[in-house]
Amino acid sequence: MSSISILGLGAMGTALARTLLKNGHTVTVWNRTRSRAEPLAGAGAKIAESPAEAIAASELTILCLVDYPAARAVLEQAQEALAGRDLLNLTNGTPGDARELGTWLAAREAIYLDGGIMAIPPMIGGAGALILYSGSRALFDRHSLALEALAESRHLGEDEGLASLYDIALLSGMYGLFSGFLHASALVTSAGGKAVDFLPLLLPWIEAMSGTLPDLAGKIDSGMHGRDVVSNIAMQKIALENIVRASEEQGVAPDFMRPMLRLAGDRVDSGGHGDDISAVVEVIRKRK
């Protein structure tokens, strides 16, 4: 069992600390607002009086703060304690944020692993929770027992930005799904339907369409968007125009759908009529 310090005791930091305690680890906690640490003392955690004291107390320190400026502010208070220490940052941010923090910590001789939590607090320590990691593989291997107690762990590579990149990519998939669901629900309810009653139609349809993703992914990776196309983008552009017109007729703002229409239209206008919808990736890559 390891000794682990947690800096940041919001909903997620508290769930991490409780899970580690439950699994027999020695846990030290610190939070800007001390009162949030006190319930954890009752569960067996030690309370540190400063971030530096917490970092010095344990083999591994986990940061779980609201954002990177907060994480950096906390670490700046503990600069003298950083050299040679193992630091895992589970604060959500961008790949650039993680790489910048990695550079800052390397200059202070700390060992850095970044992580992206694909779970909500009640899922921590249970089935279905996943944490993506990138950065120091040695740190990841050293603390694998503690990390596995929190969630299924996946190390993506030494580039500190990868965990965040994949976290953001997974969230993009989730928000794409949510935006489709919200738009579809607005359409159905505009004619007096109920979102709840629509789900038995929507869920099997989404499942059936998910079955096309392996083919689209192959086209994205090979760049061969015109291979074995059954639903060409010129046809899909007309479908998207119909979605926008139908939304307007029903008094529903087509704000989620217009960007997709514009991107498909750009590909058609540049001569990609026969391509699959996968070709939209080429349009958005060009806008980088």
Nearer to ligand FVH, 34 or 194 (CB): 34
Per DSSP, the residues of 151-216 read: SEEEE--S-TTHHHHHHHHHHHHHHHHHHHHHHHHHHHHHTT--HHHHHHHHHHHHHHHHTTHHHH
Task: State which residue has the least CB distance to ligand FVH.
Answer: 10
Nearer to ligand FVH, 98 or 261 (CB): 98
Binding mask 113-142 for ligand FVH (x = CB under 6 A): ----x--xx---------------------
The angle, 0 to 180 degrees and rounded to 10, between the axes of the packed helices 95-106 and 68-76 is 10
Binding mask 74-103 for ligand FVH (x = CB under 6 A): x----------------xx-----------
Using the rule CB under 6 A, is 51 a contact of ligand FVH? no
What distance lies between CA 35 and its chain's CA centroid? 29
Contact 143, 60 (CB under 8 A): yes
- Cα–Cα dist 267/100, whole Å: 36
Among 41, 43, 66, 182, binds ligand FVH (CB under 6 A): 66
CB of 64 to ligand FVH, least distance (A): 5
Can you give the binding site for ligand FVH, defined by CB under 6 A? 8-13, 31-33, 36, 64-66, 70, 73-74, 91-92, 117, 120-121
